[in-house]
Amino acid sequence: MLRFILSKLLYLVPTFIGITIIAFGFVRVLPGDPVLLMAGERGLSPERHAELSAQLGFDRPLWAQYLEFMNRLLHGDLGNSLVTKKPVLTEFMALFPATVELGLVAIIIATVIGVPVGVIAAIKRGSWFDQVSMTAALVGFSMPIFWWGLLLIILFSGILQWTPVSGRISLMYFFPPVTGFMLIDSLLSGQKGAFLSAASHLILPAVVLATIPLAVIARQTRSAMLEVMGEDYVRTARAKGLPPARIVGVHALRNAMIPVITTIGLQIGVLMAGAILTETI
Please tell me the predicted confidence (pLDDT) of residue 44: 66
d(CA 276, CA 208): 12
DSSP string covering 169-185:
S-TT-----SSS-HHHH
Q: Domain limits of the chain? A: 10-77, 89-280
Provide the CB-side half-sphere exposure for 118 (13 A, CA).
30
Residues facing 80 on adjacent strands:
87
Looking at domain 89-280, which CATH architecture does it have?
Answer: Orthogonal Bundle (1.10)
Q: Are 244 and 186 in contact (CB under 8 A)?
A: no
d(CA 122, CA 206): 26
Going by pLDDT thresholds of 50, 70 and 90, the confidence category of residue 43 is: low
* Mean pLDDT score of the chain: 83
Q: Dihedral angle at the C-alpha atoms of 37, 40, 42, 45, nearest 10 degrees? A: -80
Computed over its alpha carbons, how large is the radius of gyration of the chain? 25
Q: How far is CA 270 from CA 89, 214, 217, 275, 277, in A?
A: 22, 12, 13, 9, 12
Of 144, 170, 143, residue with least CA distance to 277: 144
Provide the CB-side half-sphere exposure for 74 (13 A, CA).
9
Please tell me the predicted confidence (pLDDT) of residue 281: 59
Q: What is the pTM of this model?
A: 0.77
DSSP string covering 97-139:
HHHHHHHHHHHHHHHHHHHHHHHHHHHTTTSHHHHHHHHHHHH
Going by pLDDT thresholds of 50, 70 and 90, the confidence category of residue 254 is: confident
Going by pLDDT thresholds of 50, 70 and 90, the confidence category of residue 222 is: very high
- Cα 46 to chain center, whole Å? 44
Query: Does pLDDT of 219 surpass 90?
Result: yes
Work out the percent of the chain whose per-residue pLDDT is above 90.
Answer: 18
Please tell me the predicted confidence (pLDDT) of residue 186: 87
Query: What is the arithmetic mean of pLDDT over 145-150?
Result: 84
d(CA 3, CA 281): 46
List pLDDT tens digits, range 16-33: 888 888 888 887 777 777
List pLDDT tens digits, range 161-175: 888 887 888 888 888
Which H helix or E strand runs over 198?
helix 192-229
Q: Are 275 and 240 in contact (CB under 8 A)?
A: no
List pLDDT tens digits, range 74-123: 887 777 776 677 887 888 887 888 888 888 999 999 999 999 999 999 99
